Amino acid sequence: MAQDSAALAASDAPATELTDGFHLLIDALKLNGVETIYNVPGIPITDLGRYAQGEGLRVLSFRHEQSAGYAAAAAGFLTKKPGVCMTVSAPGFLNGLTALAHANVNCWPMILISGSSEREVVDLMKGDYEELDQLAIAKPLCKAAYRILHAEDIGIGVARAIRAAVTGRPGGVYLDVPGALLGQTMDAIEGRKSLIQVVDPAPAHFPGPDAVQRALTVMKEAKKPLIILGKGAAYAQADDQVRQLVETLGFPFLPMSMAKGLLPDTHPQCASAARSLVLKEADCVFLIGARLNWLLGHGKGKQWGEPHSKKFVQIDIDPKEMDSNQPIHAPLVGDIESCCTALLEGMGDAWTKPSVDWTGAVSAKVEGNVAKMASRLHNNSNPMDYHAALGVLKQAIADRPDAILVNEGANALDLTRSVVDIHKPRKRVDVGTWGIMGVGMGNAIAAAVETGCPVLAVEGDSAFGFCGMEVETICRYNLPICIVIMNNNGIYRGDDVNRSGGADPATTVFVPDSRYEMMMQAFGGVGVYARTPDELNRAVAEAMDGGKPTLINAVIDPAAGKESGNIGSLNPTSVVAEMRAKAKAQSQ
């Protein structure tokens, strides 16, 4: 009797509206401004992608998680908001993890959301489908890692991930989403209440007034000051403040590769073409969002004119960055915008720019080197060398300063970076701090999707091979991407030989004269085989102005290119050779 009346009461009651883990996760992301997810579908997140698309998010499916992850990382750099990548469990997660670590090393905000197996099975190692303790593996490789076990915690999990990614020094965050969580249900009203819209996720950090004065004093005393702009300054989107500070100080500046365009490379204070001179001669170096890591020779050695007594001033949002390689005489801990503004205020109207003895010497060096380079860029060699091809690409970007240049490879990277001027902020996305190969297609897709601007991806033939299948993704979404493959038949060069005399090709060479352009044609895009600067020029113009997915196979002399590009000195063999030479010299 009692049972019957309870059953009756339940059937009379209005049905509670339910929601589930899928929808709570999507709602939480949307509530925090996420608009795009870079993903590869599969168990257990296939429906998550479908529902997210249904709820108005843009869900882009890639052919490999690594490219999806690289796209999310680049999106973080370009937008100052976390780029979101979504993968399946174990292998998909591991594929995405390289990109998460890359985002973290680059100080870019990214969230990797991976489906995972059930805790009960994973923790007892019972052998589940794609069983892996993903949270434990992710932790040492990212800024923060969280797992959500209950639907009512999804709001908190997403809020923590968003805040961790963008606050302070930005970085990569891992969010572990067990399959069972997605299917959990709860009351829809309670569910909505459990979501959090993060307030002020990346609060401003103001430098102290004494730190500002100290920095100004050091810079005032300098006779040969230099500014180095890093990708942190590009990321900060404080373009006006950075430009105003650099111009008011009047120091020559060197942009790191992804800071190119923050002030145009053609700016009268740009010292890129006098890099050796300024690094060696400067007595005071002001780092703005750039680390003194390997990319700057750790601030020591021959290129810095060691032994040196240079004074360093550094703006960085991470206090731990200070003194990491060299003593920092005037650390400015804070965000780029607040620090630049405080310095400008502190300088007032009475700032004296450095003497023309210094700035004039730098300009003269720049002019000489630019003129020397110009003649190399207009050669009509057949087959093309890198400079002939890059002369064309330099002009293509000068004519279209809104286009984004994506770049990877060894020689294709080093030479493009030094030849192709960038004219606006965040218009160059490349291999980043690790110098990763295979980021090109992910970078290009994110650049096109996030900005709507045309993209020119200059790729070494080897680098392209790591992510080439994404040309299908580019065609599927009909993105305005023009890929130029600098095809010299191999890694570094295409003419190496097998030292054993055996039948196998050398370890660094590919099939000669590969027809990469046909890959693009296979998916309905435009493929062009270009042997001369004229052919390259025509194809690039058509692609950049027409916006159709295009792959240009630029045939480069297999003998062009040097071992490891500009970083051959990092090869252990070079170190061994140098030691042998030293020992020989000493014994004589």
Residues forming the site for ligand ADP (CB under 6 A) = 106-107, 169-170, 230-232, 235-236, 256, 258-259, 289-291, 293, 295, 315-318, 321, 335-336, 433
Residue 532 C-beta: closest distance to Mg ion, Å: 19
Residue 317 C-beta: closest distance to ligand ADP, Å: 4
Single out the residue of 212, 452, 471 nearest to residue 348, CA to CA. 212
191 touches, from ligand ADP, Mg ion, none (C-beta below 5 to 8 Å by class): none
Nearer to ligand ADP, 154 or 270 (CB): 270
What gap in Å lies between CA 446 and CA 426, rounded to an integer? 13
460 touches, from ligand ADP, Mg ion, none (C-beta below 5 to 8 Å by class): Mg ion
What gap in Å lies between CA 214 and CA 34, rounded to an integer? 40
Beta carbons of 540 and 393 less than 8 angstroms apart: yes
Provide the β-strand partners of residue 484.
Answer: 458, 552
488 touches, from Mg ion, ligand ADP, none (C-beta below 5 to 8 Å by class): Mg ion
Following CA atoms 283, 289, 292, 297 in sequence, which dihedral angle do they give, to the nearest 10 degrees? -90
Indicate the residue type of 414: D
What gap in Å lies between CA 113 and CA 53, rounded to an integer? 16
Nearer to ligand ADP, 288 or 449 (CB): 288
Beta carbons of 187 and 124 less than 8 angstroms apart: no
Nearer to ligand ADP, 170 or 191 (CB): 170
Nearer to Mg ion, 473 or 488 (CB): 488
What gap in Å lies between CA 390 and CA 397, rounded to an integer? 10
142 touches, from ligand ADP, Mg ion, none (C-beta below 5 to 8 Å by class): none
158 touches, from Mg ion, ligand ADP, none (C-beta below 5 to 8 Å by class): none
How long, in residues, is the chain?
A: 588
Beta carbons of 411 and 565 less than 8 angstroms apart: yes
> Closest residue (Cβ) to ligand ADP?
232
What gap in Å lies between CA 402 and CA 568, rounded to an integer? 33
What gap in Å lies between CA 390 and CA 398, rounded to an integer? 12
Residue 106 C-beta: closest distance to ligand ADP, Å: 6
Longest dimension (CA), the chain: 109
Residue 169 C-beta: closest distance to ligand ADP, Å: 4
**One-letter-per-residue 3-state SS of 531-567:** CCHHHHHHHHHHHHHHCCCEEEEEEECCCCCCCCHHH
Following CA atoms 436, 442, 446, 447 in sequence, which dihedral angle do they give, to the nearest 10 degrees? 60
Residue 314 C-beta: closest distance to ligand ADP, Å: 9
321 touches, from Mg ion, ligand ADP, none (C-beta below 5 to 8 Å by class): ligand ADP
461 touches, from Mg ion, ligand ADP, none (C-beta below 5 to 8 Å by class): Mg ion
147 touches, from Mg ion, ligand ADP, none (C-beta below 5 to 8 Å by class): none
Residue 338 C-beta: closest distance to ligand ADP, Å: 8
Nearer to Mg ion, 333 or 457 (CB): 457
Nearer to ligand ADP, 134 or 443 (CB): 443
Total Cβ atoms within 10 A of residue 472: 18
235 touches, from ligand ADP, Mg ion, none (C-beta below 5 to 8 Å by class): ligand ADP
Nearer to Mg ion, 338 or 488 (CB): 488
What gap in Å lies between CA 77 and CA 404, rounded to an integer? 13
Nearer to ligand ADP, 93 or 286 (CB): 286
Nearer to ligand ADP, 23 or 143 (CB): 143
Nearer to ligand ADP, 221 or 323 (CB): 323
What gap in Å lies between CA 385 and CA 532, rounded to an integer? 10
318 touches, from ligand ADP, Mg ion, none (C-beta below 5 to 8 Å by class): ligand ADP
The residues that touch Mg ion, with contacts defined as CB under 5 A, are 460-461, 488
What gap in Å lies between CA 523 and CA 532, rounded to an integer? 25
Beta carbons of 546 and 529 less than 8 angstroms apart: no
Query: Could you give the 3-state DSSP secondary structure of residue 457?
Result: strand
Beta strands in 218-346 (DSSP E): 225-229, 253-255, 284-288, 311-316, 330-333
414: left (phi over 0), alpha (psi -120 to 50) or beta: alpha
Residue 407 C-beta: closest distance to ligand ADP, Å: 14
Residue 306 C-beta: closest distance to ligand ADP, Å: 20
63 touches, from Mg ion, ligand ADP, none (C-beta below 5 to 8 Å by class): none
290 touches, from ligand ADP, Mg ion, none (C-beta below 5 to 8 Å by class): ligand ADP
331 touches, from Mg ion, ligand ADP, none (C-beta below 5 to 8 Å by class): none
Residue 542 C-beta: closest distance to Mg ion, Å: 24
Distance of CA 236 to the CA centre of its chain: 14
Provide the β-strand partners of residue 225.
Answer: 284
Nearer to ligand ADP, 49 or 232 (CB): 232
Nearer to ligand ADP, 102 or 493 (CB): 102
Residue 201 C-beta: closest distance to ligand ADP, Å: 12
Nearer to ligand ADP, 272 or 487 (CB): 272
What gap in Å lies between CA 466 and CA 459, rounded to an integer? 11
Query: Could you give the 3-state DSSP secondary structure of residue 138?
Result: helix
What gap in Å lies between CA 324 and CA 433, rounded to an integer? 16
Beta carbons of 460 and 430 less than 8 angstroms apart: no
Residue 101 C-beta: closest distance to ligand ADP, Å: 14
Residue 339 C-beta: closest distance to ligand ADP, Å: 7
What gap in Å lies between CA 152 and CA 158, rounded to an integer? 11
Residue 26 C-beta: closest distance to ligand ADP, Å: 29
